[in-house]
């Protein structure tokens, strides 16, 4: 699985955070795993590990997003956009393997695929304040 595909699957798991309690996320990971038939164990392990790490930093990530996004608090953002921004902020702040520009570019690409017509520009604008 490519890095982009891994990131897309992590985004899909993060999107579930909006609809499930934190203590339900292990069950959600199991359900998600069942949907991804034929996935290599290394890829599955990577998706699970990164998802858990991001969830562990969500409060901190949301505080930073709220500080940087003028006029847009996380409570007002669309769930798709918020999940993409959370993933990118995690990569910018906590994942030393991902360059900032790559995190932003990949977030914009996810927004083009899963968001609204306005999502790429909105996400790019928010994330630009993190670099």
Instruction: Show me where the domains of the chain are located.
Output: 3-128
Burial class (CB in 10 A: 0-12, 13-18, 19+), 16: middle
pLDDT tens-digit profile of 2-61? 999 999 999 998 888 877 677 777 777 777 777 777 788 899 889 989 998 999 999 999
CATH number of 3-128: 1.10.940.10
59: Cα separation from own chain's centroid = 14
What was the pLDDT predicted at 42? 93
Task: For residue 57, give every residue at least 6 positions away whose Cβ sits within 8 Å of its Cβ, in sequence order, or none.
Answer: 90, 93, 94
Read off the pLDDT of residues 68-110 as tens digits, 9 standing for 90 and up. 998 889 999 999 999 999 999 999 999 999 999 999 999 999 9
pLDDT of 114 over the 90 cut: yes
Q: Output Rg (C-alpha) for the chain, integer angstroms.
A: 14
pLDDT at 126: 96
How far apart, in whole angstroms, are the C-alpha atoms of residue 131 and residue 127? 7
Q: How far is CA 102 from CA 11, 95, 99, 125, 131, in A?
A: 15, 12, 5, 15, 12
């Amino acid at each position: 699985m490519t890095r982009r595909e891994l990131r897309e699957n992590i985004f899909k798991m993060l999107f579930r955070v909006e609809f499930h309690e934190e203590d339900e996320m292990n069950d959600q990971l199991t359900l998600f795993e069942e949907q991804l038939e034929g996935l290599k164990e290394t890829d599955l392990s990577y998706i699970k590990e990164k998802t858990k790490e991001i969830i562990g930093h969500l409060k901190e990530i949301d505080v930073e997003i709220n500080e940087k996004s003028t006029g847009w608090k996380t409570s007002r953002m669309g769930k798709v956009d918020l999940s993409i921004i959370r993933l990118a902020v995690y990569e910018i702040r906590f994942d030393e393997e991902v360059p900032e520009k790559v995190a932003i570019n990949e977030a914009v690409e996810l927004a083009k695929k899963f968001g609204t017509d306005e999502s790429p520009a909105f996400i790019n604008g928010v994330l630009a304040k993190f670099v």
